[in-house]
C-alpha cells in the first residue's frame, strides 16, 4: 500500500501490535475502529514518522472497500468454500466481501455488475459467467473485474482457474483402467467453458483407449443432488460408470442406487468432482477430483486487490492455472 | 405497492403477461429490462390507465432495491437454504439480495450494518446477532432492520423465528424415551438467544423425567463437522446420547464414531438439528429437528418489503414464531 521513508503499513502494524487490517481501517477512516486501537495506530504512525501518501489516500477514500463476488448458487459447497477463503484474505487487507447469487440468470448477473457503476463496490469477481464477454466488458470502465473458476477466452482480464481438462481426463482414465467401456457423461450448462474443457478431457481419455465410438450417453442439467437422483433413472442399461462432473450429482446417484438396490461400484461406478466434504462422509465414499480451492481463492483475492490498489487500469489477459488431483475412494474401486 | 383507481402492479402484470418483478423494474427505471418487455409494460399501464403515485415513486427512486442479509457462515446449509428462499421471494418483487458473511465477528456485523447509512442497501436482515441491541438500534434511522432466526428480546423490530425451545424439548424427550439417562448437551456461542431457548427446552424435558441432577455434561463451540469430530473425543465414558444442536456436529460425531468402531445408536445415540440434506444421506441417517426454513424465509422477506414500501417507520416489536417437528431416523432408534 502507501509508503513513506520506505515504511509500509506492515511496519505500523508491527509497531502497534495490531493487524494490517486495523491499520488500514484507521488510515482510510473506516467507520468501525475501537477508540483505543485507533489511538494506538496513530501513535505508532507518529513515532515511526509514517505518512500515508495523501493523493493515494484521497483516491482510496472514494472507495467502498467492498468487493462483490458473484456465484451461481451458494448452496453448492464448492462456491461457499471459495467465498470462505476469499473473505478471510480480503478482511486481512481491510476489504469487505459482498456475496451475490446469480442463480445462473443473465439478468441478475448484469444487475450485480451494475454495482460497479453505482459505486456500491470497488471490484467484481465472477466465479461463473452468464453473459457474453462484450456485455461484461462495458463494466470494466467502472472498476476491475476478475474471473475465478469459470473463464472466457476473449476476456482481457485476469482469470484464475484450475486445469479442468486434466481433471476429467484423470477421472475418465481411472474409470477405463477399472475395466469400464461404456461411461455416461454428465454436464451442467451449455455456455460454460469449464464444461467445454472437461468434455475435451473426457474425450481425450476415451480416444487414448479407442473407446470414443461406444460412448455417446450425455446427461444434461447436472448440478444438484436432486439432479443426480433424476439422472440415475435416465441411465441406459448398459452403462457401467458415470462421470458426474460434481460431487452433489454423485451423491444423488448413490442415494438413488441405494434405494433401488444397485450396488456401487460393482454394478455402477461413480466419479464426482470437487472433493467436497460430503464425498468423504457418504457410504460408499466418492472417488473425486480435488481442486485446490483455497489456493485459487487466495490468488484471486491477491490479484483483485493488486488491481484495486494500483492506479493504472490494465486491459491485458492474465491466466493463473492450478493443477488438480485424482482422489480414489470406494465409489469406483472394490475394497 | 403504488395504486391508482384501485389498480395495482398486479393488474399491470396480468395485463401484459409479465412478472410483477418486471413491471416493478420498469416503474422504478431499473437498469436491466429488455426493450420489448419495457414497451409491453408501458403499453399495459397506458391501456389500464395505471399511474404509479409519483411521490412514492420518487421516494423509491432514491432506493437501491438491494437488501443485505447478514449470516454468520454460508458454508452452513441452514443459512444457504434460508438465503436461497429469501432470494427467490425478493427477486419476484424486484429486489436484489446482497449476502454478507459476519463469521461471528462484531466488527464485521457493524461494517455491514453501515451499508444502510452509506445507502448501499435499503434494509438489513440479521440471521445472527453479534452486537448488543443498543448498538444495532442506532442504524434503524437509516432503514429497516428485521431479525430472522436469531432474536433479541429488547429489539423493537420484527423478528421471524421458530420455536427453538420446543425443538430441543422434543429431541431430548425422544432420547429419554429411548432409555437414555445421561445425555450430553452441545452448544454454540454464548450470546445466542437461540442457545438460551434450546437449553431451556433441554432442561424442561430432563425435569419432567427427574433427570436434571445427573446431566451436566456441556460441550461448547459446537458449530461444524470438525467440531463434532473433536467433541466425540471429549464425551465422558458414561454418556449414552448427545443432543448436538446441529446436523453438522452430528455428522462429525458419527464420522468419528465410525472411525473408532463405536456403534450408533447402540453405543451412542445422536440427535441433530435442522434436518439438513446430509442428515438423510449419511449412514446411519440422523434423527433431527425440522425447521420450516422456507416459510421463515418467505415471511421474513414479506415483512421486510412491507417495511421498505410503507413510508412510516415503525418502532414496534413484532414476533412471528413457526413450529418445529421431530424427524426420527437411524441415529437414535434401532431398526
At A213-230, the pLDDT tens digits run: 888 899 999 999 999 999
Q: Which chain A residues are closer than 8 Å to B225 by Cβ?
A: 277, 281
- pLDDT tens digits, A240-273: 999 999 999 999 999 999 999 999 999 999 999 9
pLDDT at B2: 41
What is the DSSP code (8-state) at residue B140?
Answer: G
Measured between alpha carbons, how far is B33 from B26 in angstroms, rounded to an integer?
7
- Find residues 51-80 of chain A whose CB sits inside 8 Å of chain B: 64, 66, 73-75, 77, 80
- pLDDT tens digits, A115-160: 999 888 999 999 999 999 999 999 999 999 999 999 999 999 999 9
Contact status, residue B52 vs residue B2, Cβ threshold 8 Å: yes
Closest Cα in chain A, distance from residue B281 (Å): 7
pLDDT at A135: 94
A239 touches chain B (CB under 8 A): no
Judge whether A66-162+293-324 and A164-290 match in fold: yes
Measured between alpha carbons, how far is A79 from A101 in angstroms, rounded to an integer?
10
According to CATH, the topology of domain B164-290 is Rossmann fold (3.40.50)
Segment among A18-22, A177-181, B245-249 with least mean pLDDT: A18-22
Q: Do B114 and A75 touch (CB under 8 A)?
A: no
**CB neighbours of residue B259 within 10 Å:** 10
Average pLDDT, chain A: 89
Q: How far is CA A34 from CA A23, A38, B107, in A?
A: 12, 6, 9
- pLDDT tens digits, B240-253: 999 999 999 999 99
Of the two residues A177 and A316, the one the predictor is more confident about is A177
Mean pLDDT (whole number) for B90-103: 89
What is residue B126's three-state secondary structure? strand
- pLDDT tens digits, A44-74: 888 887 766 544 444 445 788 899 999 998 8
CATH 3.40.50.2300 fits B66-162+293-324, yes or no: yes
Percent of chain A predicted with pLDDT > 90: 65
B283 touches chain A (CB under 8 A): yes
Residue A148 backbone dihedrals phi, psi, to 5 degrees: -135, 125
Closest Cα in chain B, distance from residue A204 (Å): 34
pLDDT at B5: 54
Burial of B187-208, coded b for 16+ CB within 10 Å and e otherwise, reads bbbebbbbbebbbebbbbbbee
Closest Cα in chain B, distance from residue A282 (Å): 5
- What ipTM goes with this model? 0.71
- pLDDT band, residue B128 (cuts 50/70/90): very high
- pLDDT tens digits, B131-151: 999 999 999 999 999 999 999
In a mutational test of the B interface, the residue from A22, A28, A32, A256 whose CB has the highest number of chain B CBs within 10 Å is A32
Domain segments of chain A: what residues?
A: 9-53, 66-162+293-324, 164-290
According to CATH, the topology of domain A9-53 is 434 Repressor (Amino-terminal Domain) (1.10.260)
pLDDT at B56: 46
Non-local (6+) Cβ contacts of A79 within 8 A are: A71, A72, A73, A127
Amino acid at each position: 500500500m502507501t509508503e513513506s521513508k520506505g515504511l509500509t503499513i506492515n511496519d505500523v502494524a508491527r509497531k502497534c501490535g495490531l493487524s494490517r487490517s486495523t491499520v488500514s481501517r484507521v488510515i482510510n477512516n473506516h467507520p468501525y475502529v475501537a477508540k483505543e486501537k485507533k489511538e494506538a495506530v496513530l501513535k505508532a504512525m507518529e513515532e515511526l514518522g509514517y505518512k500515508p501518501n495523501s493523493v493515494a489516500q484521497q483516491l482510496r477514500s472514494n472507495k467502498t472497500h467492498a468487493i462483490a463476488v458473484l456465484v451461481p448458487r451458494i448452496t453448492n459447497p464448492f462456491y461457499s468454500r471459495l467465498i470462505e477463503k476469499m473473505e478471510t484474505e480480503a478482511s486481512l487487507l481491510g476489504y469487505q466481501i459482498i456475496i451475490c447469487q446469480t442463480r445462473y440468470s443473465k439478468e441478475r448477473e448484469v444487475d450485480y455488475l451494475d454495482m460497479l457503476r453505482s459505486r456500491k463496490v470497488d471490484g467484481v469477481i465472477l466465479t461463473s459467467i452468464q453473459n457474453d464477454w462484450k456485455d461484461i466488458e462495458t463494466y470494466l470502465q467502472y472498476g476491475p473485474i476478475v474471473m475465478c473458476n469459470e473463464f472466457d477466452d476473449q476476456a482481457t482480464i485476469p482469470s484464475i482457474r484450475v486445469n479442468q481438462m486434466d481433471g476429467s481426463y484423470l477421472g475418465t482414465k481411472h474409470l477405463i483402467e477399472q475395466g469400464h467401456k461404456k461411461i455416461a457423461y454428465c454436464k451442467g450448462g451449455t455456455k460454460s467453458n469449464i464444461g467445454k474443457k472437461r468434455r475435451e478431457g473426457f474425450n481425450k481419455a476415451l480416444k487414448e483407449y479407442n473407446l470414443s465410438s461406444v460412448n455417446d450417453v450425455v446427461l444434461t442439467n447436472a448440478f444438484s443432488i436432486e439432479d443426480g437422483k433424476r439422472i440415475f433413472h435416465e441411465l441406459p442399461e448398459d452403462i457401467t460408470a458415470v462421470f458426474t462432473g460434481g460431487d452433489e450429482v454423485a451423491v444423488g446417484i448413490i442415494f438413488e442406487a441405494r434405494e433401488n438396490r444397485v450396488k456401487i461400484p460393482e454394478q455402477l461406478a461413480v466419479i464426482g468432482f470437487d472433493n467436497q466434504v460430503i464425498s468423504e462422509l457418504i457410504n460408499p465414499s466418492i472417488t473425486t477430483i480435488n481442486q485446490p480451492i483455497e489456493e485459487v481463492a487466495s490468488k484471486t483475492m491477491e490479484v483483485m486487490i493488486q488491481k484495486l490498489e494500483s492506479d493504472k487500469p490494465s486491459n491485458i489477459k492474465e491466466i493463473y492455472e492450478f493443477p488438480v488431483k485424482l482422489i480414489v475412494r470406494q465409489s469406483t474401486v472394490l475394497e
